Amino acid sequence: MAKTSLDKSKIKILLLEGVHQSAVDNLHNAGYSNIEYLPTSLDEDALIEKIRDVHFIGIRSRTQLNARVFDAAEKLVAVGCFCIGTNQVDLDAALARGIPVFNAPYSNTRSVAELVLAEAIMLLRGIPEKNARAHQGGWLKSASNSHEARGKTLGIVGYGSIGAQLSVLAESLGFKVLYYDVIAKLGMGNASQASSLEELLSRSEVVSLHVPDLPSTRWMIGEKEIAAMKPGSILINASRGSVVEIEPLAAAIKEGRLNGAAIDVFPVEPKGNNEEFESPLRGLENVILTPHIGGSTLEAQENIGIEVSEKLITYSDNGTTVTSVNFPEVALPAHPDKHRLLHIHDNVPGVLSEINRVLSENGINISGQYLQTNEKVGYVVIDVDKAYGPQALEALKKVQHTLKIRALYSSQNS
């Protein structure tokens, strides 16, 4: 087995929030056996204790990785977000410490789109209310406020992977699709782009939100925007709880200005399945409340487990950072006969020439060099002859502005 900077059995991996077993299997198959698996997230203090000797951490949307946590994570090499959103991670703090963050940008896209489409149809028919009544022994047989999806306008806010997938599915069912995005995007099928959020809100029977959590999307749907929606329309949010102000939404439903809502994500979500869920939306008719399960299907979770564990394994074994969400992306070939040195440094002038000077002064021959930078960080990968591995590593540690350094030793030398 390839010898890396550390024996694989010494590389500690912490997997939180019940990531799918496919991730554990994949890591085991790649030779990583030192895995701690927890079904829940950890609060900040518990995480700080746990993360001290961890090399790789896998999380989902709940675990908050902030600068304080990263400060404690002295051995951390990389983060895997087993989900799409990465707003729970302070990406700049990770970058400043030379830690790449990976995610699964597409694996649960379809799951979210399918759920939203089903909810749109259910809400257009007033099913949550009728279903609740029937369970209580009632009988609400009526066509009042019940509508076909055919010909209705679905307004999609955020036309990225999920928004575009939803667009295709919805149009095939007869919805007219209107979308709003900060970027000009080509519509799928016959979908057309609205010129403003206000235009979309005023023209749609169903509005569905698919934007990431950004400073610009925080509370983007508040009292004013809800008032701008068509009377009797429906709001769906399966993006992030920070996007919609819940109080004005609850008021609009109670007053009958909106006909219903489906909300999967909330400003405050319970930390686990045993904690009570509190929300002003509880008990309101024609409101579907789901516990942040937009991406929680077995298919999506299995794919995410494979995809993100693969990215962590590749970075650990080979140094490749392709698809990292915060890091310079370098695609690397295998290095069967060479030692590979990974050097992460502040992106300031002169570091690369200093690296080359130090290596040359130590008589170390460079057989391959790969460099990528972003605004803050430079990532240079150097393949050297086997004989020089440890010596080169020591020399590189002395280079100023070094953030992190790692060696991947050639398998032939182990």
Ligand X SMILES: O=C(O)C(=O)COP(=O)(O)O
Ligand Y SMILES: NC(=O)C1=CN([C@@H]2O[C@H](COP(=O)(O)OP(=O)(O)OC[C@H]3O[C@@H](n4cnc5c(N)ncnc54)[C@H](O)[C@@H]3O)[C@@H](O)[C@H]2O)C=CC1
Q: Catalytic residues, which ones?
A: 240, 269, 292
Q: How far apart are CA 188 and CA 175, in angstroms?
A: 13
Beta pairing, strands 192-193 & 287-289: unpaired
Q: Of ligand Y, ligand X, none, which one sits near residue 60, judging by CB under 5 to 8 A according to partner kind?
A: ligand X
Q: Confirm or reject binding of residue 42 to ligand X (CB under 6 A).
A: no
User: Which token pair is 397?
Assistant: 């540690």
Nearer to ligand Y, 214 or 387 (CB): 214
Q: Mark residues 343-382: x for contact with ligand Y by CB under 6 A, - for none.
A: ----------------------------------------
Q: Single out the residue of 73, 99, 177, 211 in contact with ligand Y (rule: CB under 6 A).
A: 211
Q: Single out the residue of 158, 260, 378, 389 in contact with ligand Y (rule: CB under 6 A).
A: 158
Q: Single out the residue of 4, 5, 26, 61 in contact with ligand X (rule: CB under 6 A).
A: 61
Q: In whole angstroms, how close is the CB of 194 to ligand Y at the nearest point? A: 10
Nearer to ligand X, 87 or 374 (CB): 87
Nearer to ligand X, 46 or 293 (CB): 293
CB-based contacts of 406, cutoff 8 Å, min separation 6? 5, 77, 319, 341, 342
Q: How far apart are CA 108 and CA 147, in angstroms?
A: 29
* 207 DSSP β-pair partners: 155, 235
Q: Is 308:24 a contact under the CB 8 Å cutoff?
A: no
Q: Is 306:23 a contact under the CB 8 Å cutoff?
A: yes
Nearer to ligand Y, 207 or 393 (CB): 207
Q: Confirm or reject binding of residue 18 to ligand X (CB under 6 A).
A: no
Q: How far apart are CA 5 and CA 79, in angstroms?
A: 18
Give the DSSP letter string of 397-409. Answer: HTSTTEEEEEEE-
Q: How far, CA to CA in Å, does 350 sit from each of 15, 284, 371?
A: 38, 62, 13
The tokens 């694989």 sit on which residue? Answer: 8
Q: Confirm or reject binding of residue 156 to ligand Y (CB under 6 A).
A: no
Candidates 60-68, 254-262, 305-313, 368-376 — which segment interacts with ligand X by CB under 6 A? 60-68
Number of H helices, E strands in the chain: 13, 16
Q: Confirm or reject binding of residue 163 to ligand Y (CB under 6 A).
A: yes
The alpha carbon dihedral of 33, 10, 305, 322 has a sign of negative
Q: What is the dihedral of CA 148, 297, 103, 49, to 10 degrees?
A: 130
Residues 76-135 interacting with ligand Y (rule: CB under 6 A): 84-85, 108-109, 112
Nearer to ligand Y, 260 or 295 (CB): 295
CA 294 centroid distance within chain: 13
Q: Confirm or reject binding of residue 60 to ligand X (CB under 6 A).
A: yes
User: Which token pair is 349?
Assistant: 């002038």
Q: Single out the residue of 22, 34, 208, 217 in contact with ligand Y (rule: CB under 6 A).
A: 217
Q: Confirm or reject binding of residue 85 to ligand X (CB under 6 A).
A: yes
Q: Of ligand X, ligand Y, none, which one sits near residue 161, judging by CB under 5 to 8 A according to partner kind?
A: ligand Y
Instruction: Kindly list the residues in this chain that would bind ligand Y in the complex (CB under 6 A).
Output: 84-85, 108-109, 112, 157-163, 180-183, 210-214, 216-217, 238-240, 264-265, 292, 294-295
Instruction: Kindly list the residues in this chain that would bind ligand X in the complex (CB under 6 A).
Output: 60-62, 83-85, 108, 292, 295-296
